Amino acid sequence: MTSGEAPRARLEKKARELVLAGRVRLHGSGGRAMYFSVDGETGEREVSFAPTKGEWSCDCKYSSLKPGHDCSHIIAARLFLSQGAKKADKSSQPRYPE
């Protein structure tokens, strides 16, 4: 693992833990953005996603110090969103009686 990969791997691990612990919530969607709350180690963080632009943002210190890099809160919201889509796909499949 290179030095550039190590921080990303840590962020992804932390994000998975946040999702598995149920600490990510979609609390609004409308207009041109989706809004998430992520209950992180240092408090609740607000994450937004503008699907038409493909842009994510977070109000945490990491995001403000490293613009253009995803923080663990953004990665967690992405995972949460992709898991929700997978659950919706499974629940919409027809069930046949045995």
Rounded to 5 degrees, what are φ and ψ at 48?
-130, 150
Q: Show the low-confidence residues of the chain (pLDDT under 70).
A: 1-6, 85-98
Look-up: residue for tokens 């995803």? 70
Q: Report the domain count for the chain.
A: 1
In-domain check, residue 1: no
In-domain check, residue 60: yes
In-domain check, residue 63: yes
In-domain check, residue 92: no
Task: Report how far residue 18's alpha carbon sits from residue 61's, in angstroms, rounded to the nearest whole number.
Answer: 17
Residue 71: closest CA among 56, 51, 50, 85: 56
pTM of the entire predicted model: 0.79
In-domain check, residue 44: yes
Q: What pLDDT score does 32 carry?
A: 86
In-domain check, residue 51: yes
CA dihedral 84, 90, 92, 96 (to 10 degrees): -160
Q: What pLDDT score does 87 carry?
A: 57
In-domain check, residue 77: yes
What lies within 8 Å, CB to CB, of 78 at 6+ separation is 15, 56, 70
In-domain check, residue 6: no
